[in-house]
Structure 1
Amino acid sequence: MKKIKIIQGDITKMKADAIVNAANNSLLGGGGVDGAIHAAAGPHLQEECMALHGCHTGEAEITQGYDLPAKHVIHTVGPVYSGAKRDVDLLKSCYRNSLNLAKKANLHSIIFPAISTGAFGFPAQRAAQIAYDTIAAWQAENKDYQLEITLCAYDDKMYQLYKKIAA
């Protein structure tokens, strides 16, 4: 199996073909990583996102990266955690749809934040396991496609969770 890289840092400073934005349904920016990505990318990102007219939970859209080091931003809308099984399915869909979009766009490196673990309240341990398992399953199904996949933790707690799961 291909290795999933794990790093800690500011995703807005990362160079890759794409970084993933844990967005809200409007795609127009918000708090956390969403607001940080919009601020770092500059006003043209907002303009392109407005033209997309939003995104459903679990789905993904791609834009240019503008002033970011990353060439593209893949916006995905994670579930607001309620404890329902549907939350797990939607979170898996965020990762799967983002990876499929990267492949469709012929991208070869992608960096994910910890989707839904901030204001959307998904338990970090569970979200980390879902992220890792979903990415590993996608890699197994797409063995012939070269895509460097990185999980970017925003703090040490998330970094340690990712490291433990990957061990």
Structure 2
Amino acid sequence: MTGTTVIEAVRGDITTQEVDAVVNAANSSLLGGGGVDGAIHAAAGPALLEECRELRRTTLPGGLPVGEAVATGAGALRARFVIHTVGPNRHRGQTEPALLASCFTRSLAVARAVGARSVAFPAVSAGVYGWIGTEVAAVAVAAVRADTAAAPGLDLVRFVLFSEDLLHAFDAELADRLP
């Protein structure tokens, strides 16, 4: 690579991605849930839950704050790491785009800290947390582009999306905004 990070969007299953780190759209408990969180925990197996329980017991007794990120091993996933981030919940009044952007930038910082060169993201906060897919796409792409331009070290950032609508939203942002 020449120092330029490839940023792409694909439709697929984040649990099957062959990247160094997958990002989990976690809840603050880190102990699993629905959607992407539940799928990652199910695919990773019990080792992931044990690491998350240890984090809660030691460094994060109150849970992971919204907009922050933390890494664990990936259990049975193809990736080496899971980076957990808690997206803002629009239904709880968490409507600030900067809080959503922080999920992406903090996750990238954690990825660099653990030595990851490739990262797969879901559409954090889209769906059950009430954020519209086009808004998530705009915030996510802008945050990732700004971060990777300012801080080298990643070869690939892939948005792995579960629906055609989300894929179209991310593709439009990637096409419309020049790096």
SS at match of 1:120: coil
| Superposed displacement of residue 139, structure 1 | 1.1
Question: Identity of paired residues, percent?
Answer: 41
Matched, 1:130 2:139: yes
Query: CA offsets, 1:44-91, max 9 Å, x none?
Result: 111100111121110001000110111110000000015968531111
Q: Give the count of matched residue pairs.
A: 166
User: Which 4+ runs in 1 deviate beyond 3 A?
Assistant: 82-86
Range moving further from structure 2, 129-138 or 84-93: 84-93
| Superposed displacement of residue 105, structure 1 | 1.1
Aligned partners of 2:66 and 2:87 also within 8 Å:
yes
Structure 1: gaps spanning 5 or more residues: none
Tell me the residue number matched to 1:105. 114
Task: Write the distance in 2 (CA, Å) between the matches of 1:104 and 1:86.
Answer: 28
**RMSD (CA atoms):** 1.5
Tell me the residue number matched to 2:90. 81
TM-score (norm 2): 0.88
Tell me the residue number matched to 2:39. 36
Task: Write the distance in 1 (CA, Å) between the matches of 2:103 and 2:110.
Answer: 11
SS at match of 1:63: strand
Structure 2: gaps spanning 5 or more residues: 57-62
TM-score (norm 1): 0.94
